[in-house]
Structure 1
Amino acid sequence: MSTIVRGIVSTALVVACGTAAFWWGTDGFSAYTAEAARRADILRAPRPVPTVELEDQDGRRFRLDDYRGRLLAVEFIYTRCMTVCRSLGVAFRQIRDAVPPESLGRDFALLSISFDPERDDPASLKAYGRNFGADGEHWRLARVRDAAELTALLDAFGVVVIPDRFGGFEHNAAIHLVGRDGRLVEISDLDQPLAFAGKVREKL
């Protein structure tokens, strides 16, 4: 075998091995990032979410279990956030407006959960929700009082929250759909609210 042929064969083997490793590492090329892998995993195997206790903008206590039997859109925010959380609020308002009004509350609800419970008291949550038209019934704002439960909830949804140097947080952002059985079934980009609403309408 000539040197040129051996070089071609060696290169082909390296490319084949690299392609196979990439295929395996990206779940058949379907996941190019950790976020994409997380979303693909949820679609393949919906994940139970913890039945944590929350307190809403009116000081009412409730549990995530209370939404069983309905579809639930969930976002994670903190009220002092002036960037991505504002975009989430706008996206949630668009979703709310795009689903059949008669399904709101009965078959579908929206829930914004703060991961800054120390500062996001009911009054702050109410003021934040008012900016986006949250009615406190079909779309509630809430915080988790128990730090251990908050950690478990963020982990279940795959939300990463890192304090920054200015008293705020760096965090990933998405719109999550919890099914009627209380399982996380889908994660969508915040810049595609109408596509998310279309998926909700299909499931109603």
Structure 2
Amino acid sequence: MKKNYTYVWVSFIVLIFGIIFIPRIIDRVKNGTIVESDRMNVPTNSGDLAYVVLNGVKRKVPEFSFVNQDSLLITNEDYKGKVYVVEFFFSTCPTICPIMNQNLIQVQNEFKDFNDFGVASFSINPEYDTPRVLKEYAEKYGVTNMDWNLMTGDSQAIYDLANTGFNIFAKEIPNAPGGFEHAGMFALVDKNGYLRCRVDDFGNPIIYYRGAILEEDGENDHGEKEQIGVLKEDIKKLLEE
């Protein structure tokens, strides 16, 4: 009886831990905020933008090779020497992608006079998003930056790049709106190909930038604030490095 009584208490403690802490952890991951004790550590340096660090190594954009809206082969080498924003999207997305790309158009226009700024958009529905489809999509939204590539290619390579390379969730889910689910986050890359970010008031890294809230709206229905204004500030910092 005593042993069974102990098991009951252990089970109760585990249950309480799950109720209290698991939602907090999930919420921090969704918001792109992870502290040093989690799987990433980001050092700060006199208020400058920090490097994203994993296991003591500064994280760099993995090698990639895809075809863009002009049927040109684009690799990570094409972004060398440029500051750029990374997103994962699909052209038939009925929910967050239109908002994300409206925001990116604003960012594009903000830095239209900078030859060393670009955007890398990777389709998570490459079977449908052919170069022709992506070209029409780019024209519809007003993509004018020559270094804004909307890319398509091998689906597994794109999912690996999203989920492993950038740790930005993307997956085909038939019952999700549009058939796919993905995080509405942007990643920021410096001229040397390193992932960069800022930290919050508590020293926690804000690794990604919310892309699915319009800058003019200020915040969404959940009280989450837009981060496009912050993204613009950080792009300016990296362009000046």
Bin the TM-score by the shorter chain: 0.7 to 0.9
Which residue of the other structure, out of 116, 122, 133, is the alignment partner of 1:113?
122
* Distance (whole Å) between structure 2 residues aligned to residue 67 and residue 195 of structure 1: 22
Aligned length, in residue pairs: 176
The alignment partner of 1:112 has SS state of: strand
- Cα pair distance change 1:138/1:49, threshold 3 Å: closer
- Contact conserved, 2:124 with 2:155, CA < 8 A, in 1? no
Partner of 1:33: 28
Partner of 1:139: 148
- Cα pair distance change 1:152/1:87, threshold 3 Å: same
Q: Give the aligned residue type for 2:162.
A: L
Partner of 1:55: 67
* Distance (whole Å) between structure 2 residues aligned to residue 37 and residue 193 of structure 1: 14
Q: Give the aligned residue type for 2:71.
A: G
Q: Give the aligned residue type for 1:35.
A: K
* Distance (whole Å) between structure 2 residues aligned to residue 188 and residue 112 of structure 1: 15
Alpha-carbon offset, residue 124 of structure 1: 0.8
Per-residue CA distance 1:110-150 (angstroms, 9 max, x = gap): 1211011111001110111112111261322111x233422
Partner of 2:200: none
Higher relative contact order (CA 8 A, sep 6+): 1
Per-residue CA distance 1:82-111 (angstroms, 9 max, x = gap): 210001110101111222x321xx211112
Alpha-carbon offset, residue 159 of structure 1: 2.1
Per-residue CA distance 1:151-176 (angstroms, 9 max, x = gap): 32112111222413265212111111
Q: Give the aligned residue type for 1:62.
A: I
Per-residue CA distance 1:24-59 (angstroms, 9 max, x = gap): x97xxxx95223466553744142222111100011
Answer with 1 or 2: which has the greater Rg: 1
Say if 2:120 is the partner of 1:124: no
- Contact conserved, 1:76 with 1:112, CA < 8 A, in 2? yes
The alignment partner of 1:65 has SS state of: helix
* Distance (whole Å) between structure 2 residues aligned to residue 43 and residue 149 of structure 1: 27
Task: Name whichever of 129-138 and 68-77 sits farther off.
Answer: 129-138
Give the aligned CA root-mean-square deviation in angstroms. Answer: 2.6
TM-score (norm 1): 0.75
Q: What is the identity percentage for the equivalent residue pairs of Structure 1 and Structure 2?
A: 25
Partner of 2:192: 181
TM-score (norm 2): 0.65
- Cα pair distance change 1:42/1:177, threshold 3 Å: farther
- Contact conserved, 2:84 with 2:189, CA < 8 A, in 1? yes
Identify unmatched segments of 5+ residues in structure 2: 1-16, 44-52, 198-207, 214-226
- Contact conserved, 2:91 with 2:129, CA < 8 A, in 1? yes
